[in-house]
Structure 1
Amino acid sequence: MTGHRQRARLNREARHLAPGASEETAAGQRVFAEGAGALLTDLDGNEYLDFAAGTLTQSLGHCHPEVVDALTAQARRLWNVHDAATPGRADLLDLLARLLPGHLGTYAFFSTGAEVVEAALRVVQATAPAGRNRIGALRHGFHGKTMGARMLVHWDIGHQAFAGNSVLGYAPNCYRCPLGLTYPSCELRCASLVRKHIAEKPNVAALVFEPVQGAAGVVVPPPGYWERIAEACRANGVLLVADEVLTGGGRTGAFLACELLGIEPDLVMLSKGMANGFPFAVLAGRAELLRSPEAATAGSYASTYASNPLGIAAADATLRVIERDGLTERAAALGELLGERLAALHARFDRLGDVRGVGLLYGLEFVTDRESRTPDPDLARAVHTTALDLGLRTALGGHIIRLAPPFTIDEAQLDEGARLLELAIERAVEQVVA
């Protein structure tokens, strides 16, 4: 439960802080004061295993000493000179060239996921041939809260509709198939429709997509979905623009989720875990796109905080630890263990309708019953808050809880987190049923 020191601080800030926090923050009502590795400590001294890794960002856990040292050293030297070259930038560029697929050899640096998505859209729009004036995206995708990112997925606010020029295709949600079909007898009808309405259209310039949809609940595509779509896009000249803001940097057990799924993207957006939660983002792409005269006009890849040396230092330190310690492979191995623990929970609790994931990224979908599959956000919220009271932090969104522990978590902590989650589900189900 929230202690008296936290409650006093929350009441104090509520006098001036605008509402509109995330569901997990609003439900949890905690004031986190310190973090180290997979652990968080609140203002009253309570400890939590952080299975949300910040906001699915802390690849190395909280306050990793090498990232702290790199940031501290850089903060003593230089913070911001717009997008001018600084000594660490060339080193980071070389490191990215080593970690990313060879065809993605040109990079631009930004601050946030939404900012890098907007930059990718500008590249697509600048380089698109005449007549290719539309962009494809997938239903229920999430690419940020800026106007361009919202327009991609037809996310309207209030009474204002700004659908823009995007065409929506079906994401491969087998648990909740929008077409009412069942895999594999469906013969991937969703992919066939994306091909028909996006990949094979002569007026579409690009398909912007999450290889694994994150905010939608960790929607992992079935075999064959991306192979069919990517092949058609390549054959028809439609660019593949991968939003790996969440998945990039090793979380899925490969540096890019696209590598696991056999996709060869033309542009990739990365952020979140690339600098262990410090604001930093990368647009990676084919040289012929990012270096084209149309896309590389003066100021195209510049912004107030783009290429700032603090972000570069944090990213360089983070990625070197991931590379040196084999943490991408570790994420894959730990992900298998976590998957086994979650499968046991799925077998035990009927109200846990679906468990899906890849690497250290999982989604748990709570329902009123398995037959109707009616979403149960009240139960998910109860699981989240009960888990917090037990000492486990998760990521709540509607009727889905996402798990994304840091790559550095040890097996004992992973097992303890799974045990606490089981206890939380048990108590929450009893609470909701009662």
Structure 2
Amino acid sequence: MTGPRTRELLAREAAHLAPGATDEAEAGGRVFATGAGSVLTDVDGHEYLDFAAGTLTQSLGHCHPDVVAALTRQAGRLWNVHDSATEDRAALGELLSALLPEHLDTYAYFSTGAEVVEAALRVVAAVAEPGRNRIGALRNGFHGKTMGARMLVHWDIGHQSFAGNSILGYSPYCYRCPLGLTYPSCETRCADLVVKHVATKPQISALVFEPVLGAGGVIVPPPGYWEKIAQACRDNGVLLVADEVLTGGGRTGAFLACTWLGVEPDLVLLAKGLGSGFPFAVLAGRSDLLRSPEAAAAGSTASTFGGNPLGIAVALATLTVLDRDDLIARAAALGDRLAAGLAELRERHPMIGDVRGAGLLFGLEFVRDRETREPAPDLARAVYRAALDAGLRTALGGHILRLAPPFTLTDDELAQGLERLDRALRQVGPC
């Protein structure tokens, strides 16, 4: 339950704070004060295991000492010189080159996920052949809230429509197949339709996609889906632009989800966990694209805060720890245990219709009835709040809870988190 200091601060800020917060912030009603590793503490002293890792940003946990030291050291030296070179920038490029697939050897630095999406769209527009003036994307996808990112998924606001330039394909949402089919007898018909309407259309320049859809509900593709689409795009000259803002940096048990899925993208977008929660993003791509005269005009990869020395220092420290401590392998191993634990919870709690995920990224889909699969956002919200009261923070969105703990989670913390989630489920509904 919330404490007196929390209630006081929330009441004070309500006088001036615009509405529109996330479901989790509005439903949770917490004021966090400190974080260390996998544990958050609110202003009243209550502790929470953070199975949302900030907003899927704290891959190393909160306030990792190496990252804090790097940021503190840089904060006392230099903050911003626009896009001029700094001491750490070359080292970051070299480390990224060692972690990413060999063909992704050229980088541009930005500050947020949405900003790097917009940068990728500019590259695609610059290098596209005449006539290739449209872009493909996936239904249920999310790429940010800026205009270009919204246009990709036809996200209109108010009475204005700006969604005319993209063609949407079906995402591999097997639990709620829009075609009414069942895997594997469907033979990934959704992928066939993406091939037909996106990959083979001469006016399409690129397909922008999340390898595993995150905000859309942790939609994990079945075998065969990306194999069909990626090959068709390659055969027809359609660029593959992987939005790994959420999945990149090891979240699915591989540095890129694309690598795990066997997809070779032309451009990759990274943010979130790359900077341990500090605003930092990377556009990684093939040299022939990012160094092409059309995409490399003066100022094309510059922005006010993009690649600032603080972000460079944090990203370099984060990736150094990730590599040094073999934390991606740790994420994969923890993910296997988390998957087994969540499967057991699904067996005991009928309100969980589906459990899906990869590595340390999972989604629980709440339903009113497993036969009808009617979404139950009220149940998801109630479980989210009960879990907070039990000392477990997850990520709430509609009728889905996402779980994405830090890679530094201990075995005991994993067990405690599952026990607290079970307690919350039992409180909300009978087994």
TM-score (norm 1): 0.99
Q: Which residue of 1 aligns with 2:88?
A: 88
Aligned: 1:234 with 2:234: yes
| Secondary structure in 2 matching 1:175 | helix
Q: Which residue of 2 aligns with 1:351?
A: 351
* CA distance in structure 1 between the partners assigned to 2:142 and 2:62 by the alignment: 25
Aligned: 1:422 with 2:426: no
Q: Which residue of 2 aligns with 1:99?
A: 99
Summarize the alignment of residues 220-369 of structure 1 with structure 2, pairs less than 5 Å apart: 220-369=220-369
Pairwise CA RMSD: 0.7
Q: Which residue of 2 aligns with 1:129?
A: 129
Q: What is the CA deviation profile of residues 258-281 of structure 1, one whole-angstrom value per residue up to 9, with x for unaligned ones? A: 000000000000000001111000
* CA distance in structure 2 between the partners assigned to 1:6 and 1:101 by the alignment: 46
Q: Which residue of 1 aligns with 2:32?
A: 32
| Secondary structure in 2 matching 1:241 | strand
* CA distance in structure 2 between the partners assigned to 1:320 and 1:359 by the alignment: 20
Once the two structures are TM-superposed, the CA of residue 160 in structure 1 deviates from its matched residue by 1.2
Summarize the alignment of residues 201-220 of structure 1 with structure 2, pairs less than 5 Å apart: 201-220=201-220
| Residue identity opposite 2:183 in structure 1 | Y
Aligned: 1:6 with 2:6: yes
Once the two structures are TM-superposed, the CA of residue 162 in structure 1 deviates from its matched residue by 1.1
Q: Which residue of 2 aligns with 1:408?
A: 408
> Structure 1, unaligned stretches of length 5 or more?
none
TM-score (norm 2): 0.99
Q: What is the CA deviation profile of residues 19-67 of structure 1, one whole-angstrom value per residue up to 9, with x for unaligned ones? A: 1111000000000000000000000000000000000110000000000
Q: Which residue of 1 aligns with 2:379?
A: 379
* CA distance in structure 1 between the partners assigned to 2:220 and 2:6 by the alignment: 38
Aligned length: 431
Q: Which residue of 1 aligns with 2:183?
A: 183
Aligned: 1:114 with 2:114: yes
* CA distance in structure 1 between the partners assigned to 2:57 and 2:26 by the alignment: 19
| Residue identity opposite 2:69 in structure 1 | D
Worse-matched range after superposition: 210-219 or 421-430: 421-430
* CA distance in structure 2 between the partners assigned to 1:425 and 1:156 by the alignment: 36
* Identity across the alignment (%): 72
* CA distance in structure 2 between the partners assigned to 1:313 and 1:106 by the alignment: 19
Aligned: 1:46 with 2:10: no
Once the two structures are TM-superposed, the CA of residue 413 in structure 1 deviates from its matched residue by 0.1
* CA distance in structure 2 between the partners assigned to 1:395 and 1:159 by the alignment: 30
| Secondary structure in 2 matching 1:357 | strand
| Residue identity opposite 1:203 in structure 2 | Q
| Residue identity opposite 2:363 in structure 1 | G
* CA distance in structure 1 between the partners assigned to 2:349 and 2:428 by the alignment: 11
* CA distance in structure 1 between the partners assigned to 2:52 and 2:158 by the alignment: 30
* CA distance in structure 2 between the partners assigned to 1:273 and 1:428 by the alignment: 32
* CA distance in structure 1 between the partners assigned to 2:188 and 2:45 by the alignment: 51
| Residue identity opposite 1:15 in structure 2 | A
| Residue identity opposite 1:31 in structure 2 | V
| Residue identity opposite 2:353 in structure 1 | G
Q: What is the CA deviation profile of residues 55-101 of structure 1, one whole-angstrom value per residue up to 9, with x for unaligned ones? A: 01100000000000000000000000000000000000000000000
Summarize the alignment of residues 53-72 of structure 1 with structure 2, pairs less than 5 Å apart: 53-72=53-72
Q: What is the CA deviation profile of residues 140-195 of structure 1, one whole-angstrom value per residue up to 9, with x for unaligned ones? A: 10000000000000001111111131000000000000000000111111000000
* CA distance in structure 1 between the partners assigned to 2:277 and 2:425 by the alignment: 29
* CA distance in structure 1 between the partners assigned to 2:398 and 2:230 by the alignment: 31
| Residue identity opposite 2:166 in structure 1 | S
Once the two structures are TM-superposed, the CA of residue 230 in structure 1 deviates from its matched residue by 0.3
> Structure 2, unaligned stretches of length 5 or more?
none
